[in-house]
Amino acid sequence: MSIERVTATPAALALIERLQRQHGPVMFYQSGGCCDNSAPNCLLPGELMIGPADIYLGSLGSAPFYMSRSQYEYWKHTQLIVDAIAAPLGSDNFSLEGPEGQAFLSRSRLFSDAESAQIEAEGELPRP
């Protein structure tokens, strides 16, 4: 059984479902920390081109989650846990949930030595 590299809280999954009902399919990209402090951005497919320098970490429900290979080097020892928190309406972010008065937030936990070894053996996940 594969180790989940990214997962979501019930609050985040509920917000993802609400956004999908409003907008259709969505995807996530873990930002690199410019304007939005390394937040997971929820986007419509095609709003951001995924390229060979991006890694697929898994899916949150049916929403694929990616990050840059260079940023993955910093995060590869942790499981990302995407949560949804209250945020001021009109918050300055590029993510679909901004008008909802919520924001996605990445939390993390360190993988155990056994989990890290399994992830190393598995290599990159295939893209959806």
Q: What is the mean pLDDT of each run of 10 residues along the chain (128 residues)?
A: 93 96 95 67 91 94 94 92 83 71 91 94 84
* Three-class secondary structure of residue 127 per DSSP: coil
Task: Supply the DSSP string of 10-31, one letter for each residue.
Answer: HHHHHHHHHHHHHHSS-EEEE-
Q: Letter for the amino acid at 94?
A: F
The pLDDT of residue 9: 97
Residues in Cβ contact with 101 at an 8 Å cutoff, skipping those fewer than 6 apart: 86, 87, 88, 89
pLDDT digits (tens, 9 = 90+) for 33-53: 655 457 899 999 989 899 999
Angle at 16 (CA atoms; ends 14, 22), nearest 5 degrees: 105
